[in-house]
């Protein structure tokens, strides 16, 4: 049997880890402490290494709570006192140095506990902000269920403001007396100003979609509301849709990225507007008015709506290549059809793989299909 196995300090540390402290972030500091104590016992007196025990509370500050960090510090202090006779530091010559080391150890343990306390406080504050932001997002966007009218849908929405979880991208799908109507828009900018403009656009759309028979009139009312609240030169791109007649889709373009239609065979069609129009808030700079156009939309087709945060997401490798949604969306949707939730999850996972797990802009994916 080795000396480390006979060492009572090591045995106490193992009992504390397995029976008392469990695995709540204590494993790493206690294992480090047990290793140092075992190695110290095996070394000669003139080569003791117990001062290295100071790493244990520092590790605990990174892995567990401030109270457990103090417990680790106290255990380390007891370990140093228990090994002091073996290390031969209690003599007249070594006592002053040992006392100084102990004072330094106590100070490091207290500072580690303070760091852990500050980290805990920050995490709690972040959790509060996140929960409030999630409630605000739900109140603003009012995410629809998996089906609205006779249209199935699946959504992925990610804000560039990670702590806030809300941003300038917006969407709405409503079952109105004139058919299922949808809006996807992207407000220029980020932060609270973009969120405010998004709220104005959504409120106007939810009112006008039920009141106006023509999709152009719905868009005009949304445009007027947004224009009143935007600063000079600001704008929001938007795409309005209406599922009224079976087999057809009516669209109205306001500067937004084109929708994609994926067939059952995975072929992708880009639904470019024949008459592109300016974004919301800039219509006063153009003469005339935007016009709707129709596209075929069969029972097996999937409509992919998105914002530029998706197609402008840069690759993690070179930082310059954009996400190739047009090349990948067909196979990703076809592989998951007819499960829209699985399809949007596949696209989003592929997007994160391309970017290395982070997005620098708000990103919205909305998939629509007939029930």
pLDDT band of 80, cuts 50, 70, 90:
confident
Average pLDDT over residues 228-242: 86
Nearest to 305 by CA among 316, 314, 295, 290: 295
The 10 Å Cβ neighbour count of residue 25 is 19
Percent share of the chain, pLDDT over 70: 84
pLDDT at 19: 44
- Predicted local distance difference test score (pLDDT) of residue 62: 86
Query: How far separated are the first and last CA of the chain, in Å rounded?
Result: 72
Task: Give me the residue spans of the domains in the chain.
Answer: 3-132, 142-370
How far apart CA 3 and CA 24 sit, in angstroms, is 29
Question: What mean pLDDT comes out for the span 85-109?
Answer: 82
- Minimum mean pLDDT among 8-12, 74-78, 342-346: which range? 8-12
Tell me the pLDDT tens digit for each residue of 341-364: 999 999 999 998 988 877 777 788
**What was the pLDDT predicted at 4?**
41
| Mean pLDDT for the stretch of residues 215-219 | 95
pLDDT number for residue 349: 92
pTM above threshold 0.75: no
pLDDT for 63 beyond 90: no
Lowest average pLDDT, out of 6-20, 109-123, 269-283, goes to 6-20
Is residue 110 over pLDDT 60?
yes
Between the CA of residue 59 and those of 24, 36, 54, 180, what are the distances in Å?
13, 14, 9, 56
Residue listed under structure tokens 């343990």: 109
Question: Helix 8-15 vs helix 66-87: angle between axes, to the nearest 10 degrees?
Answer: 170
Average pLDDT over residues 61-88: 87
pLDDT at 162 over 60: no
- The superfamily (CATH) of domain 142-370 is PPM-type phosphatase domain (3.60.40.10)
pLDDT at 358: 77
pLDDT band with cut points at 50, 70 and 90 for residue 281? confident
**pLDDT for res 111:** 92
User: In the predicted model, what is the mean pLDDT of residues 72-80?
Assistant: 89
pLDDT at 124: 79
Among 19-33, 41-55, 69-83, 201-215, name the most confident range: 201-215
Pairing of strands 363-370, 151-158: antiparallel
Distance between CA atoms of residues 324 and 210, nearest Å: 36
What is the percent of the chain with per-residue pLDDT over 90, rounded to a whole number? 37
- From 132-136, 242-246, 366-370, the region with the lowest mean pLDDT: 132-136
Supply the mean pLDDT for the chain.
83
| 8 pLDDT above the threshold of 70 | no
Give the pLDDT confidence score for residue 149 in this predicted structure.
Answer: 92
pLDDT of residue 163: 47
Q: Which residues contact 145 (CB under 8 A, 6 or more apart)?
A: none
């Amino acid at each position: 049997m080795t000396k480390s196995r006979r060492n009572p300090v090591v045995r106490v540390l193992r009992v504390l880890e397995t029976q008392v402290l469990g695995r709540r972030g204590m494993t790493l500091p206690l294992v480090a402490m047990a290793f140092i104590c075992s190695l110290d016992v095996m070394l000669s007196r003139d080569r003791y290494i117990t001062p290295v025990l100071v790493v244990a509370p520092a590790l605990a500050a990174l892995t567990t709570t401030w109270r457990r960090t103090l417990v680790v510090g106290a255990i380390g202090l007891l370990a140093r006192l228990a090994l002091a006779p073996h290390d031969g530091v209690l003599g007249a010559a070594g006592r002053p140095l040992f006392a100084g080391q102990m004072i330094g150890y106590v100070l490091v343990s207290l500072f580690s506990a303070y760091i852990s306390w500050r980290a805990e406080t920050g995490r709690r504050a972040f959790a509060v902000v996140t929960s409030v932001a999630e409630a605000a997002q739900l109140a603003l966007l009012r995410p629809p269920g998996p089906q609205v009218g006779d249209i199935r849908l699946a959504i992925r929405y990610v804000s560039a403001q990670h702590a806030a979880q809300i941003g300038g991208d917006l969407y709405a799908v409503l079952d109105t007396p004139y058919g299922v109507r949808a809006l996807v828009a992207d407000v220029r900018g980020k932060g609270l100003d973009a969120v405010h403009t998004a709220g104005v656009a959504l409120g106007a759309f939810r009112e006008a979609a039920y009141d106006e028979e023509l999709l152009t009139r719905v868009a005009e009312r949304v445009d007027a509301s947004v224009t009143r609240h935007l600063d000079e030169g600001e704008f929001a791109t938007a795409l309005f849709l209406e599922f009224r007649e079976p087999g057809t889709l009516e669209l109205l373009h306001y500067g937004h990225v084109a929708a994609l239609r994926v067939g059952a065979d995975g072929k992708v069609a880009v639904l470019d507007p024949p008459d592109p129009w300016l974004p919301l808030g800039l219509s006063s700079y153009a003469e005339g008015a935007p016009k709707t156009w129709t596209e075929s939309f069969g029972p097996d087709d999937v409509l992919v709506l998105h914002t530029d945060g998706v197609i402008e997401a840069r690759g993690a490798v070179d930082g310059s290549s954009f996400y190739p949604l047009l090349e990948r969306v067909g196979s990703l949707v076809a592989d998951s059809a007819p499960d829209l939730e699985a399809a949007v999850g596949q696209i989003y996972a592929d997007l994160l793989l391309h970017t290395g797990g982070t997005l620098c802009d708000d990103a919205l994916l909305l998939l629509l299909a007939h029930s």
